[in-house]
Structure 1
Amino acid sequence: MDGTGCVEMTDAAAELLGRLRSAHGPLMFHQSGGCCDGSAPMCYPAGEFRTGASDVLLAELRVAGVDEPVPFWMSRSQYELWRHTRLVVDVVEGRGSGFSLEAPEGVRFLIRSYLA
């Protein structure tokens, strides 16, 4: 991993990821710096969002009941701004405006950040 690995998730986020994994197969996160719902993390089927040299793999999240980890990618430019923070993936009610898999559930993922 290129990043700090300082990504965690709440129980609510883990539960939602378990449901999404059952419905869609292996998953991944990508967090950009502003497109599609601001800087909210987007959840996609694994490999559906192409990552490259402009992205940093921050963590591989382990979810109870899910065999494979869920990689959490962030655009390198966003990482440069947030590299000194601890990130917590959470879920709240309300539909986001992006293409993330949870949108039909009436909830959306978000990041809570804390200085490390």
Structure 2
Amino acid sequence: MAEISLQVIATPAALELIKRLQEKYGPVMFHQSGGCCDGSSPMCYPQGEFIVGDNDVLLGEIGGAPFYISKPQFEYWKHTQLIIDVVPGRGGMFSLENGEGVRFLVRSRLFTDEEYAALLAAGKV
């Protein structure tokens, strides 16, 4: 059986920003909703400030921070690995990186057939 690939990973730049935010705000978490405007970017919150519910899926952790995605968005992206990166710009209005001069960005790549089969067999998709 193929090794199970992580469903969400982060670039070194994203990990560095997460570390800075954790030093400034304490434990953080992410949520990816998939709406327009701010909702299309991963949002970073202090842990416990954003209430996750039955309509959210824990995709994994990046930099020690849990990363959730809404179920409808997960259905669209379950065939892909999300790669959280950082680019110059302004973060989402309610996201902790707002004012840092950079923002989180989702990149992605399709899982191979073997990777997806392993995720399916493990009950991850």
Relative to the length of structure 1, the TM-score reads 0.86
Which aligned segments of 4 or more residues in structure 1 are displaced greater than 2 angstroms? none
Q: What CA distance in whole angstroms lies between the structure 2 residues aligned with 1:45 and 1:35? A: 22
Q: What CA deviation, in whole Å up to 9, does each residue of 1:40-97 have, x standing for no partner?
A: 1000000110001000000022x3xxxxx20000000000000000110000001134
For structure 2, which runs of at least 5 residues remain unmatched after alignment? 112-125
Q: What CA distance in whole angstroms lies between the structure 2 residues aligned with 1:14 and 1:70? A: 10
Give the aligned residue type for 2:38.
D
- Give the fraction of aligned pairs with identical amino acids, expressed as a percent: 60
- Partner of residue 39, structure 1: 40
Relative to the length of structure 2, the TM-score reads 0.81
- Partner of residue 55, structure 2: 54
Q: How many residues align?
A: 107
- Partner of residue 68, structure 2: 73
- Say which of 85, 88, 95 aligns to 1:100: 95
CA RMSD of aligned residues (A): 1.4
Q: What CA distance in whole angstroms lies between the structure 2 residues aligned with 1:31 and 1:100? A: 11
**Residues 41 and 92 of structure 2 are in contact (CA less than 8 Å); yes or no, is this contact kept in structure 1?**
no
Structure holding more helix per residue: 2
**Residues 6 and 87 of structure 1 are in contact (CA less than 8 Å); yes or no, is this contact kept in structure 2?**
yes
Query: If you compute each CA radius of gyration, which structure gives the higher value, 1 or 2?
Result: 2
Give the aligned residue type for 1:46.
Q
SS in 1 for 2:14: helix
Per mean C-alpha deviation after superposition, the further-off stretch among 33-42 and 78-87 is 33-42
SS in 1 for 2:90: coil
- Partner of residue 22, structure 1: 23
SS in 2 for 1:99: coil
